[in-house]
Amino acid sequence: MKKMNMKELAKELNVSIATVSKALRDSHEISGLTKKKILEMASKLNYTTNPYAGSLRNKKSKTIAVILPEVADSFFSLAINGIQSVAEKKGYHVLIYLSHEKYSNEKSIVGECNSGRVDGVLISISSETTNPDHILKLQKENIPIVFFDRNFEGLNISSVVTNDFESGYLSALHLIKNGCQNPVFLSISSSLGICNKRAEGFRSALIEKKTGRIKNPVIICSGTYQEINSQIKKLLTGKIRPDGIIASVDRLAMSVYLICRETGISIPNELKVAVFSTMETAPILNPPLTTITQPAFEIGRIATELLFKKIEKKAFSVVDENIILPSFLIERTSTAAS
Amino acid sequence: MKKMNMKELAKELNVSIATVSKALRDSHEISGLTKKKILEMASKLNYTTNPYAGSLRNKKSKTIAVILPEVADSFFSLAINGIQSVAEKKGYHVLIYLSHEKYSNEKSIVGECNSGRVDGVLISISSETTNPDHILKLQKENIPIVFFDRNFEGLNISSVVTNDFESGYLSALHLIKNGCQNPVFLSISSSLGICNKRAEGFRSALIEKKTGRIKNPVIICSGTYQEINSQIKKLLTGKIRPDGIIASVDRLAMSVYLICRETGISIPNELKVAVFSTMETAPILNPPLTTITQPAFEIGRIATELLFKKIEKKAFSVVDENIILPSFLIERTSTAAS
DNA sequence: CTGAAAGCGCTAACAG
DNA sequence: CTGTTAGCGCTTTCAG
């Protein structure tokens, strides 16, 4: 069965192609009767309008790009749901691109976004990204952009993030209150604003409470799975061991749990653990894991709404907004007082 | 900064637009020198070719659609990684659509796929889907399709799945061997082939081993989160309680764990639990959860390779292949012998 | 080796 | 209310 086009449809009905076009877009210029006839024939002949021909004319792709470091992370999965929920409502299509936390990947993906393929871009930057030029270039091309969760600081681009400093601060206080003398913060990047803010909040609490004997309580965990595991293992079995950990992502907390099992370190007695995460399994881990839970779906949803505001009012150059949604500390056994 | 097009680029260089086009696609018709000049000017002026104009001419979108029930599931997250890995290599773009396990959503998404927007479709059907007409229609339009994980039986369409019957069978044997007298299988759908096969395998083992006093050991769990929870709770606290559970997806096992915590049912002493899942947290749950783990990344990867085989050789009408990859039973404490 | 010209399928002036 | 027509940006014969 060959794909039929508008011209053929028009011929079939003995009307002009323009009439068909207008009827299909429900123009008021077309009489109810012809409209009806056209619609019927279209569905009978299984006609579907070619989206790319329209894109070419209208310079609108009805498509947005979502660029994220990883999908196999509970936060991003939920965020995608939020994004999709509004894109769908707007009749938009969603292209997903993964940077795998590599700056080079992110750069080339972003580079592709100014081709007209997409009407807007949602991005959560990779942990390696320290140079925002690729993003600024996109902005200069006048493509609407919104950061979600992981933004690049100081760029005058809309973003939706959580109260990172405060969450870091409160999570540290929580550990300290429950008896930690030597908490550390496991970060995944020294450049990621979101991590740094959380780490700063964390640090502030230690200073304020005069807690911690470890010179630098913010530890960057990077490298492969293996490397990170051995790095954490060294940390937990070294001479100066922390008695509390705030992990910045799912994976790091899992590592810590695994290593504690393996080495027999008892959580929360010897080590208290909390994580920035939306993991659904947190309450059924051994022991149940304290989380600082971000409103992932909402972050995705609101970021997308912001994006559409820019896409739809592109002419008037909508002002950029930076929205901060609160995360919630959910206390569980992993940080219980000793 | 306005987006520049090929015509402008050509003018800038005092060559014809045809020459530019050819140079950019590295045609042998163009001399090395002009090619070089054109490439340089293109990158200097930040020219990017408009993908939709090309799509219109070539009737190729360089885009595939992935239709899946849900992203917030470890299996699908990993599968997306596999899909993306090969799409990227081929220079293809990936559109993601979520059916949210609703047939109506799936149907309208699939309906959109014959518009020329995509060159091929990867799909894992919703748990509600019992009628394959929407998919057959797509096939008739000559759009390459490949099922991954959840296929529709008997359609003569390529698919990549796991050894479902066998896994169901082996998981039941495992429970029985470790002492279960009354195991049940928690399914999410009575129509999903994949669930039914697993359930059939499960049933076969019970019959073969003459085990189980519950009339129908295959239980369909459906409805909202809440409804499923209360359904499971009723099951676990009723008069005829199972002493073993095989859950067909992440979520059901989590429910079981949560309810056991709440009601004080001890795993594995009073109830043994295993799940079809790729959950990374399985080993650190309380207790560590036995899983039947699917090769999710591989399923995604191979399904996509199959898809490209069809996309690339569309003319010769590649024969459909049904590939079966094995899942692995990973025994953990949740099913330990009493 | 380079260029002119005919569309891909659709939309939107503009005429009638 | 309906039709004619000129492109959107690019690729690809076909001539030169």
Q: Which amino acid, one-letter code, is at A2?
A: K
Taking the C-alpha atoms of residue B100 and residue B118, their distance in angstroms, rounded to an integer, is 21
Whether the CB-CB separation of A306 and A158 falls below 8 Å is answered with yes
Using the beta-carbon criterion (under 8 Å), do B254 and A280 form an inter-chain contact? Answer: yes
Instruction: Name the nt closest to B17 by C-alpha to C1'.
Output: C3
Query: Nearest Cβ partner of A281 from B71, B115, B279?
Result: B279
Q: Does B215 map to a domain?
A: yes
Q: Which residue is nearest to nucleotide C5 (CA to C1')?
A: B18
User: Residue B205 has what pLDDT?
Assistant: 94
Whether the CB-CB separation of B185 and B219 falls below 8 Å is answered with yes
Give distance CA A18 / C1' D4 (Å): 9
Q: How many CA atoms lie within 13 A of A185 on its CB side?
A: 31
User: Residue B4 has what pLDDT?
Assistant: 87
Question: Which residue in chain A is spatially nearest to B140 when comparing CA positions?
Answer: A1
User: Residue A316 has what pLDDT?
Assistant: 63
User: Residue A170 has what pLDDT?
Assistant: 97
Residues A173 and A281 in one domain: yes
User: Residue A279 has what pLDDT?
Assistant: 95
Using the beta-carbon criterion (under 8 Å), do A284 and B257 form an inter-chain contact? Answer: yes
pLDDT digits (tens, 9 = 90+) for B31-86: 888 888 899 999 999 899 999 999 999 999 999 999 999 998 899 999 999 999 99
Whether the CB-CB separation of B34 and B239 falls below 8 Å is answered with no
User: Residue B27 has what pLDDT?
Assistant: 85
Taking the C-alpha atoms of residue A69 and residue A103, their distance in angstroms, rounded to an integer, is 10
Lowest mean pLDDT of A139-143, A146-150, B177-181, B295-299, name the range. Answer: A139-143
Q: Does B22 map to a domain?
A: yes
Taking the C-alpha atoms of residue B317 and residue B298, their distance in angstroms, rounded to an integer, is 24
Give distance CA B89 / C1' C1 (Å): 33
Residues of B whose CB is below 8 A from A116: 3, 48, 50-52
Residues B139 and B198 in one domain: no
Mean pLDDT value across residues B287-305: 98
Task: Tell whether the torsion through CA atoms of B231, B236, B240 and B245 is positive or negative.
Answer: positive
Our separate counts of H helices and E strands in chain B read 12, 12
Residues B62 and B126 in one domain: yes
Residues A214 and A133 in one domain: no
Residues A219 and A209 in one domain: yes
Residues B121 and B16 in one domain: no
B74 reaches A (C-beta below 8 A): yes
Query: Which residues in chain A show pLDDT less than 50?
Result: none
Residues A77 and A148 in one domain: yes
What is the domain-level CATH number for residue B183? Answer: 3.40.50.2300
Whether the CB-CB separation of A51 and A91 falls below 8 Å is answered with no
B45 reaches A (C-beta below 8 A): no
Strand ranges for B99-194 from DSSP E: 120-123, 145-148, 158-162, 183-187
CB neighbours of B69 closer than 8 A, spacing ≥ 6? B76, B98, B99, B100, B101, B124, B125, B126, B127, B150
Instruction: Name the nt closest to A27 by C-alpha to C1'.
Output: D1
Residues B273 and B170 in one domain: yes
Instruction: Name the nt closest to B27 by C-alpha to C1'.
Output: C1
Q: Does A270 map to a domain?
A: yes
User: For chain B, what is the radius of gyration of the CA atoms?
Assistant: 25
Q: Measured between alpha carbons, how far is residue B2 from residues A141, A316, B46, B89 in Å?
A: 7, 16, 10, 30
Whether the CB-CB separation of A310 and A120 falls below 8 Å is answered with yes
pLDDT digits (tens, 9 = 90+) for B99-123: 999 999 999 999 999 999 999 999 9
Number of domains in chain A: 3
Taking the C-alpha atoms of residue B63 and residue B52, their distance in angstroms, rounded to an integer, is 11
Closest C-alpha to A331, from A184, A162, A177: A177
Residues B63 and B118 in one domain: yes
Q: Does A1 map to a domain?
A: no
Over pLDDT 90: what percentage of chain B? 80
Which of A5, A117, A284 to mutate: most B Cβ within 10 Å?
A284
Q: Does A95 map to a domain?
A: yes
pLDDT digits (tens, 9 = 90+) for B184-223: 999 999 999 999 999 999 999 999 988 877 888 999 998 8
Whether the CB-CB separation of B72 and B250 falls below 8 Å is answered with no
User: Residue A314 has what pLDDT?
Assistant: 67
Which helix (H) or strand (E) element contains residue B33?
Answer: helix B32-44
Task: Tell whether the torsion through CA atoms of B28, B33, B39 and B45 is positive or negative.
Answer: negative
User: Residue A215 has what pLDDT?
Assistant: 81
Q: Which residue is nearest to nucleotide D9 (CA to C1')?
A: B53
Q: What pTM, to 2 d.p., does this model score?
A: 0.94
Q: Which two tokens stand for residue A333?
A: 């056994």
- Can you give the residue range of the structural domain that contains A80? 58-162+296-324
Whether the CB-CB separation of B124 and B99 falls below 8 Å is answered with no
User: Residue B314 has what pLDDT?
Assistant: 67
90-119 of A, contacting B, C-beta below 8 A? 93-98, 111-112, 114-117
Q: Does A153 map to a domain?
A: yes
B140 reaches A (C-beta below 8 A): yes
Taking the C-alpha atoms of residue B128 and residue B100, their distance in angstroms, rounded to an integer, is 10
Taking the C-alpha atoms of residue A75 and residue A297, their distance in angstroms, rounded to an integer, is 8
> Rounded to 5 degrees, what are φ and ψ at A161?
-135, 180
User: Residue B188 has what pLDDT?
Assistant: 95
Residues A66 and A45 in one domain: no
Q: How many CA atoms lie within 13 A of A208 on its CB side?
A: 12
Residues A98 and A80 in one domain: yes
Q: In strand D, which positions have an atom below 7 A from any protein CB?
A: 1-5, 7-13
Taking the C-alpha atoms of residue A67 and residue A79, their distance in angstroms, rounded to an integer, is 12
Using the beta-carbon criterion (under 8 Å), do A95 and B94 form an inter-chain contact? Answer: yes
Q: Which residue is nearest to nucleotide D5 (CA to C1')?
A: A18
Q: Does B1 map to a domain?
A: no
User: Residue B83 has what pLDDT?
Assistant: 98
Mean pLDDT of chain B: 93
Residues B301 and B157 in one domain: yes
Using the beta-carbon criterion (under 8 Å), do B286 and A288 form an inter-chain contact? Answer: yes
Q: At what angle do helices B250-263 and B225-237 cross, to 10 degrees?
A: 50
